[in-house]
Amino acid sequence: MTPSAFHTHCTFCDGKNTPEEMVLEAIKLGCGEIGFSSHSFMAHESRWGMPPDVEEKYKAEILRLKDKYSDRIKIFLGIEYDWTSDIDTTDYDYVIGAVHYVLKNGHFIPVDETADHHKNAIKELYDGDADALAEDYYKMTSQLYDKTGCDIIAHFDIITKFDERDKVYEETPRYCESALSACRSLAKKPVVFEINTGAISRGYRTTPYPAPFILDELVRLKAPLVITPDTHSKDTLIFGMKDVERALDKINCAYLTEMEQILEITRKK
């Protein structure tokens, strides 16, 4: 299968390589398509989102590369639109919707920075109830399409990023139901769910997002799937994607590999 990478980050947000370096690596690896998905601006977070002036430069650069390399690879201009952002997505080829912060009583709780952020929030804002934080996270996740108009749902259960190293969440009946309820809600929308290998490439996990019980539900619901690297470096541009392909092929589970396939589903809005 010709690889394609649609969840990629570059130096316009928190990636290590320039867009052109990413494109050249994609060509070297034989990718048929690459899509850029830099992080949207968040007023409460200035470290890795793109301010409006940077966003315009990002758009211009990706369009320049799209034209320059049009005879060698298909390039798409995308953005990772966070639930806590408020941006205009008119100029983008596609949108990835994500929840990186849970908003609780005026506090923005980062869900992918450290396990301690989770533990402290659970203790101080949720009276020690981890399932309650998970419920708030999955409620926000269930609203991603309505909030962002996204085409792809990012790293569905990213709150479990640290659980292999430092357990925060357990698959209790209450936890599972909140995750599955969000799955069922989003599966009714014209969206594609990603199977995301990013936390594996960065050493946090040994398995992709989402957890097996969530993936089983998505397969049961016949929700469209796409494999993504969520890469922040050209060195991990297609990391782990072949392993996921083999696993899905073993269970005869279909997945999308081209942006045209994705947009055929998601743009029927």
- pLDDT of res. 260: 97
DSSP code string of 70-99: TTT-EEEEEEEEETT-----TT-SEEEEE-
Pick from 15, 45, 58: nearest CA to 110: 45
* Alpha carbon distance 257, 30 (integer Å): 14
Distance of CA 221 to the CA centre of its chain: 20
- Per-residue pLDDT tens for 9-59? 999 999 999 999 999 999 999 999 999 999 999 999 878 899 999 999 999
- Per-residue pLDDT tens for 207-224? 999 999 999 999 999 999
List Cβ neighbours of 67 (8 Å cut-off, separation of 6 or more).
none
- pLDDT of res. 152: 98
Mean pLDDT of the chain: 96
Pick from 20, 30, 110: nearest CA to 73: 30
Q: How many domains in the chain?
A: 1
Residue 47, Cβ density class (10 Å: 0-12 exposed, 13-18 middle, ≥19 buried): exposed
Q: Write out the residue range of the structural domain in which residue 126 sits.
A: 4-266
Domain of 89, CATH number, reads 3.20.20.140
